[in-house]
Chains A and B, each alone.
Chain A
Amino acid sequence: MDYTELTTEPIDITSVARRVVPPECGATVTLDGYARRFTKDKQTGETRETEYLVYEAYEPMAIREMQKLVEQVKSEFEIANVGIVHRLGKLEIGETSVVISVAAPHRRAAFAACEWLIKELKRTVPIWKKEVFADGEVWVEGDSQAPAL
């Protein structure tokens, strides 16, 4: 089965991956996205050290947008099931912020679909990340235009 969830609890990556597996599949590709300590600033090239992250979502719309991605990815790739779980609230460095699992009969489609899903999630799903540093904090603004108008 497919599923999309938001949670404030730590994400169990293995269980996300296992929930998407049907008998006709031979490969599951799972992305484990987690909070990074060092981020290079795209403009200045300087490296900032992050202390922790805070994620927030427009929850009902985020679920709807994730469900749309699942529908779309299944129509465009030879895959069976998709699971997406995104963490909200405060995350320590190294904690998992997002898990995407794609089960498919063959691995190639699963890799491609997983890559497509994270790219689209970062562009369309209304979730925001705040980076907190020793000397300040910033809500990260993505570089996307308004999607799908």
Chain B
Amino acid sequence: MKVTVLFFGATADTVGSRELEIRADEAATAKSIIDQLSKDHPALAKHKLLIAINEEYADPDTLLKDGEEVALFTAVSGG
């Protein structure tokens, strides 16, 4: 299956991209996607990452479905 991964702020700078399409196996979770990305971008693991799936905060162990949108970002700092 394929998922779209979005990056913002610090994670976008670390990965050098704002959006990636990623091929993942059927049992993929948000955490396994982060592990997969960390191989190419080890600096990603230095951040404490928050996860959103389809625009809702989600647990790292949530199973992903084909076509879902996963956002990886650092603790928010608006205001």
Residues of A within 8 A of B (CB): 33, 55-58, 60-62, 64, 86, 97-98, 118, 121-130, 139-149
Task: Give the residue name and chain of the A residue nearest to B74 (CB).
Answer: A141
Main secondary structure of the interface of A (DSSP, over half): mixed
Number of residues from B at the complex interface, CB < 8 A: 23
A149 to B56, CA, bound (A): 10
**Chain A residues near B77 (CB-CB < 8 A):** 122, 127-129, 139-142
Q: Is the CB of A126 within 8 A of B59?
A: no
Q: Is the CB of B8 within 8 A of A128?
A: yes
**Chain A residues near B52 (CB-CB < 8 A):** 58, 61, 126
- Given the interface pairs A128-B8, A139-B9, A139-B74, the reply to whether A146 lies near B79 with Cβ below 8 Å is no
Q: Is the CB of B57 within 8 A of A146?
A: yes
Q: Is the CB of A33 within 8 A of B79?
A: yes
A128 to B47, CA, bound (A): 14
- Given the interface pairs A128-B8, A141-B10, the reply to whether A58 lies near B73 with Cβ below 8 Å is yes
A83 to chain B, nearest CB (A): 15
A128 to B10, CA, bound (A): 9
A125 to B73, CA, bound (A): 12
